[in-house]
Amino acid sequence: KRNVLIIGAGGVAQVVAHKAAQHNDRLGDLHIASRTVAKAEAIIESVHAKDAMKVPGVFQAHALDAMDTAAVVALIKATGCQIVINVGSPFVNMTVLDACIQTGVAYMDTAIHEDAGKICEAPPWYGNYEWKRREACKAAGVTAILGVGFDPGVVNAYARVAEGLMDSIESIDIVDINAGSHGKWFSTNFDPEINFREFTGTVYSWQNGAWQSNTMFEVGQTFDMPVVGAQKAYLTGHDEVHSLSARYPQADVRFWMGFGDHYINVFTVLKNLGLLSEQPVTTAEGLEVIPLKVVKAVLPDPASLAPDYTGKTCIGDFVKGTKDGKPVEVLIYNVADHKDAYTEVGAQGISYTAGVPPVAAALLIADGIWDVGTMANVEDMDPAPFINLLNDIGLPTRIKEAAGDRLLEF
Ligand code: NDP
């Protein structure tokens, strides 16, 4: 038993906490730390309300400023945790990783590090911060698994599975469709500041062996997805395009996210009016405001969406390549249900798909299977035990190929 420290107390942390509690017989003591300790306490309360702890054990909340490496080091030492699941905001990633390197404990996160001062990171995303610490991880024997949510995360493992099915990979198209409905006139599914930031910058993809630039909503395509049907998705920049293009430089690697026309209309109006700007403006009354902060203040709190969310998500990889000289194509995917997620762990489906994988990774590290003692992206790891475990703990993987559509098991 390694004991686990969860950092952050948002939507994804809610899922991580419930899933870790369901497996505390294997993980040991659980701790959750966030800037606002009341949020961490509320998550523990919801775990107890669902009687989610598999065996009686420790689950403790702590106040922590995760931007302060020394404070993270002190908490790791005080709790005796050997695995840190960082699901705080992406601004804290490097301070938390540094603390894990200093204390020699395992680290994982679900998104690339972002500098709070920048609008959006540009490629090479992992090269900007994370991979610079690879040698330090190796020297300290620290297992650091980067981006182990769903996308990035499980979709990287899907690409690795496809690698084993083909002689060469020609293209990887990751498609993320949320066909759910939250019932509000307009809302973002995550913190609007983070959500809009993702779509205001340049859209990068890896095609013809080089980075290509587009703008958001410039390139769209309809994908025929299982369960949720034909869905329009748009070329979007995403962390995993970088790590996957480093492993498969000969392949085109693209990320597509589904959006309805309504979302695009609202986004376009807000953006063109200047309401997504982080630059302060002064009103006629002399009041200085940041437009994006005002928009955030009037939009629904994303955390409030979960109870009424219905419908499904479908996220997967369309991979094309060749096998024995012939063209082959597979779709490897998962379908998750918003209502089922809420019933089980009190969160919507998108948080669920992001929060279950790091707990699977923690279990694999605790069992020694993924405890590689160095820094790795998910596609560097053996996907078989990960996918088998996800099948068992709530995120089953299916594969659609010429022969048909089946559960993927190893
Ligand atoms: P939330 O915004 O809901 O939660 C972030 C949490 O981090 C909050 O509890 C916040 O505290 C805490 N936090 C922020 N700064 C600090 C700090 N300095 N010290 C301690 N705690 C801090 O985010 P989500 O739960 O939606 O997402 C969490 C992470 O997961 C993000 O990095 C996101 O990008 C990633 N993600 C990954 C996905 C994937 O599939 N790979 C999908 C979805 C999300 P406070 O409450 O006080 O603000």
Going by pLDDT thresholds of 50, 70 and 90, the confidence category of residue 227 is very high
User: In this predicted complex, what is the ipTM?
Assistant: 0.99
- Report which protein residue has its CA nearest ligand 1's atom 7: 88
- Residue 119 confidence (pLDDT): 65
Structure tokens at 38: 């009341």
User: Which residue, among 347, 323, 319, has the nearest Cα to 175 in the 3D structure?
Assistant: 319
Residue range 49-70: mean pLDDT, rounded: 98
Going by pLDDT thresholds of 50, 70 and 90, the confidence category of residue 43 is very high
Expressed in angstroms and rounded, the spacing between residue 191 Cα and the centre of ligand 1 is 9
Residue of 18, 34, 334 to test ligand 1 pocket, by largest number of atoms within 8 Å of CB: 34
Residue range 177-198: mean pLDDT, rounded: 92
- Residue 101 confidence (pLDDT): 98
Q: Which residues pair with 176 in a beta bridge?
A: 257, 315
- Residue 1 confidence (pLDDT): 77
In tens, the pLDDT along 272-329 reads: 999 999 899 999 999 999 999 999 999 999 889 999 999 999 999 999 999 999 999 9
From CA 357, how far away is CA 351, in angstroms rounded? 11
Contacts of 4 by beta carbon, 8 Å cutoff, 6+ apart: 20, 27, 28, 29, 30, 31, 81, 83, 84, 85, 362
Domain-by-domain residue ranges, the chain? 4-150+350-393, 154-348+396-407
Going by pLDDT thresholds of 50, 70 and 90, the confidence category of residue 193 is confident
Going by pLDDT thresholds of 50, 70 and 90, the confidence category of residue 199 is confident
Residue of 15, 35, 125 to test ligand 1 pocket, by largest number of atoms within 8 Å of CB: 35
In ligand 1, which atom is closest to the CA atom of 152? 41
Q: Which residues pair with 33 in a beta bridge?
A: 7, 62
Expressed in angstroms and rounded, the spacing between residue 194 Cα and the centre of ligand 1 is 10
Please, are residues 290 and 280 in contact by the beta-carbon 8 Å criterion? yes
Residue of 19, 89, 155, 299 to test ligand 1 pocket, by largest number of atoms within 8 Å of CB: 89
Expressed in angstroms and rounded, the spacing between residue 214 Cα and the centre of ligand 1 is 27
Expressed in angstroms and rounded, the spacing between residue 8 Cα and the centre of ligand 1 is 6
How many CB atoms are closer than 10 A to CB 405? 11
- Report which protein residue has its CA nearest ligand 1's atom 4: 10
Expressed in angstroms and rounded, the spacing between residue 34 Cα and the centre of ligand 1 is 9
Estimate the crossing angle of helix 37-49 against helix 11-22, to 10 degrees: 40
Expressed in angstroms and rounded, the spacing between residue 289 Cα and the centre of ligand 1 is 24
The pLDDT mean for the chain works out to: 96
- Report which protein residue has its CA nearest ligand 1's atom 3: 10
Pocket, ligand 1, Cβ cutoff 6 A: 8-13, 34-36, 39, 64-67, 87-90, 92, 110-111, 149-153, 190-191, 354
Expressed in angstroms and rounded, the spacing between residue 409 Cα and the centre of ligand 1 is 31
In tens, the pLDDT along 120-140 reads: 788 999 999 999 999 999 999
Expressed in angstroms and rounded, the spacing between residue 87 Cα and the centre of ligand 1 is 5
Percent of the chain with pLDDT over 90: 94
Helix (H) or strand (E) holding 2: none
Which residue has better confidence, 56 or 302?
56
- Report which protein residue has its CA nearest ligand 1's atom 39: 149
Residue of 6, 7, 12 to test ligand 1 pocket, by largest number of atoms within 8 Å of CB: 12
Expressed in angstroms and rounded, the spacing between residue 207 Cα and the centre of ligand 1 is 31
In tens, the pLDDT along 364-402 reads: 999 999 999 999 999 999 999 999 999 999 999 999 999
In tens, the pLDDT along 76-119 reads: 999 999 999 999 999 999 999 999 999 999 999 999 999 877 76
From CA 134, how far away is CA 129, in angstroms rounded? 10
Expressed in angstroms and rounded, the spacing between residue 327 Cα and the centre of ligand 1 is 41
Going by pLDDT thresholds of 50, 70 and 90, the confidence category of residue 35 is very high
**Domain 4-150+350-393 superfamily per CATH:** NAD(P)-binding Rossmann-like Domain (3.40.50.720)
How many CB atoms are closer than 10 A to CB 226? 14
- Report which protein residue has its CA nearest ligand 1's atom 23: 10
State whether CATH 3.30.360.10 applies to domain 154-348+396-407.
yes
Please, are residues 205 and 173 in contact by the beta-carbon 8 Å criterion? no
